[in-house]
Amino acid sequence: MALAVFWGNTMKIVILERNSVGEDIDVSDFGQFGELVSYPVTSPDQVAERIEDADIIVVNKSPITAEVLSKARNLKMVAEFATGFDNIDVEECRRKGIAVANVSGYSTDSVAQHTMTMALYLLEHLSYYDNYVQSGAYAASSSFSNFDKRFDELGALTWGIIGMGAIGQKVASLASAFGCRVIFHSVTGHSSVKEYEQVGFDELLRQSDILSLHCPLSDLTRHLIDEPALAKMKKSAILINCARGGVVDTAALARALEEGVIGAAGLDVLEKEPIRVEDPLLKIRDPQKLIITPHMAWGSTQARGRLVQEACDNIRAFLNSEMRNRVV
């Protein structure tokens, strides 16, 4: 598809979920390709109508199904505002000759940073010590220090990782810089990483003082961290999940935290998002045991800027007949 054929003011570019990258991130660059229409959010039942005359659509989680595609009479490309593309019927796009491109690697530093932040917050009982000062207890104390809650140096601990892709390797390098012994487990058994010790799943659970998850959600990883797995972990262990919510059995984790099976957990992802009011994790009100953030680990200002730029570059490459980050 040549640039001369498609690039011009007659093209229509539709962003279905503009707010998915944050209102503070400028998306006006998409307007260089033609008429730009941007919707803050789009519900599944609005997708077909909003893209029926679009040439290019930019999506995040909007379902691009075969039915939706059948009503998009001009569609030539679907640009993902994400790495994952399971919201798109890829085979139907292939059959119709519709290009699909995603963005990968934009959030590695951001997710790794958030992983470390959560681990340190829980490891050092920062919520307790902040409350100790804010409550006035420190001002009333006769001692200049307080050691109510013991904490360890990272250099004395073993950090376990499941998912040694780009994010997992970044976390491993950061943990190593703090002096941690780093071990990892490959769910598929096919990791080529040699810099860190690879161990079996049960061994990883038994040895890890901090266990962070950075693996995709698949049949191999769904509820990988379940009740039997949690029971094999140290009672003092900290679990961090910045991967996918479904890797952890929510109900099992809630019980494990309530019963002291493990020490604490930091979660940026959940099985159901946004969190449901009936989620058993909401019953745990102790911030020393559990911290939950709203799926924002990926979203540093820089990461979201990179995501938008990469999506723009994907469209430009498509219009210039270049294959870039193409799924189809």
Q: What residues are annotated to the active site?
A: 244, 273, 295
Q: Which residues pair with 198 in a beta bridge?
A: 184
User: CA–CA separation, 26 vs 141, rounded Å?
Assistant: 50
279 CB burial (10 A radius; 0-12, 13-18, 19+): middle
Taking residue 171's Cβ as centre, other Cβ atoms within 10 Å add up to: 30
User: CA–CA separation, 237 vs 289, rounded Å?
Assistant: 11
Q: Which residues pair with 86 in a beta bridge?
A: none
Q: Which residues pair with 158 in a beta bridge?
A: 181
CB 127 within 8 A of CB 120: no
Look up tokens 């940073």; give the residue. Answer: 113
SS3 (DSSP) at 123: helix
Helix (H) or strand (E) holding 188: none
Residues in contact with 246: Cβ distance below 8 Å, sequence separation at least 6, in sequence order: 217, 221, 222, 223, 271
Q: How many residues does the chain have?
A: 328
Residues in contact with 29: Cβ distance below 8 Å, sequence separation at least 6, in sequence order: 308, 309, 312
- How distant, in Å, are the alpha carbons of 55, 100, 150 from that of 2? 14, 16, 64
Look up tokens 């569609």; give the residue. Answer: 75
Amino acid of residue 156? A
Token pair in block for residue 48:
């077909």
